[in-house]
Amino acid sequence: MGAAIPPAENGPEGLRDTVYYVDYQGTRFVVLDSTSALNNDTVEQQARWLETVLRDNPNRWTVVTYHHPMFSVSAGRDNPPLRDHWKPLFDRYGVDLVLQGHDHVYGRAGDNLPEGKTRFDDEIGTMYVVSVGGPKMYMVSDQARTNMTRVAEDTQLYQLVRVQHDRILFEARTPSGRLYDSFELVKAADGRNRLFEVLPSERRCTRPDIPGYRETRCWEGSDLIEPPAALRNAR
């Protein structure tokens, strides 16, 4: 197991702590700051930097990660500035995999998206994944259920991503190790990706009728989590 790679200070001015890229064993890992993009209006600044990073990329694979999804999975959420400014660059320069969070559900899309087209015959475009590791759960929107290949409610997951010379192997597993989603992106000699996937049974919310909870939520808790009294009173 190799040593951790520290963030490189190669991002745009003023965002170098949260926006950067690292090249490692044939893959360019790009980290973007969607919180700043949406809340501080830096989406265009990051897009200008992103284009240079994707255009001048000698690596075989490109993986991008940020917090807010390009295509939201939870009901009532949407992030159009990311689609307006970042998705065209992902499409133009062939980003392979995008890892995201924020929505407290699981969703994967690549061969069928609510906007745009990513599958051409057997070729697959960018694969987008949204996942959740904690116990706070929301509900999957009807749009995501229709347009995404794989979704899950009320399911904590972790991901295993293995990058080899000609393929990326992705697995989403529950804390007990049970496989929930799996796919391979296989890159041909012409640079195009082919998709091979494994789809076990879909997981849905097991508590849809909890009194007092919003219909978009699926967890046994509240937005405000109070610490135990012993900790609150300790000084």
Beta bridge partners of 196: 184
Predicted pLDDT at 168: 95
Residue 107 has pLDDT above 70, yes or no: yes
* 72-81, 101-110, 183-192, 222-231: segment of lowest average pLDDT: 222-231
Distance CA 90, CA 47 (A): 10
Q: Is residue 3 part of a domain?
A: no
- Span 201-223, mean pLDDT? 68
pLDDT in tens, 114-160: 555 455 445 678 999 999 998 888 999 998 888 888 999 999 999 99
pTM of structure: 0.83
Q: Is residue 161 part of a domain?
A: yes
Distance CA 87, CA 70 (A): 8
Q: Is residue 193 part of a domain?
A: yes
Distance CA 32, CA 67 (A): 8
Average pLDDT of the chain to the nearest whole number: 85
Q: Is residue 2 part of a domain?
A: no
| Domain CATH number, residue 107 | 3.60.21.10
Look up residue 235 and give its DSSP letter: -
If one counts the domains in the chain, the total is: 1
Distance CA 108, CA 140 (A): 12
Contacts of 117 (CB under 8 A, 6+ apart): none
Q: Are 157 and 149 in contact (CB under 8 A)?
A: no
Q: Is residue 174 part of a domain?
A: yes
CA-wise closest residue to 150 among 174, 180, 173, 175: 180
Residue for token pair 């804390």: 175
Predicted pLDDT at 195: 87
Which residue range forms the structural domain that includes residue 85?
20-233
- Span 211-232, mean pLDDT? 59
CA-wise closest residue to 153 among 67, 76, 73: 73
pLDDT in tens, 66-92: 999 999 999 889 999 999 999 999 999
Q: Is residue 67 part of a domain?
A: yes
* 27-36, 43-52, 81-90, 222-231: segment of lowest average pLDDT: 222-231
Q: Is residue 214 part of a domain?
A: yes
DSSP per position, 94-113: T--EEEE-SSSSEEEESSS-
Q: Is residue 8 part of a domain?
A: no
Predicted pLDDT at 159: 96
Instruction: Place 110 in a pLDDT band, splitting at 50, 70 and 90.
Output: confident
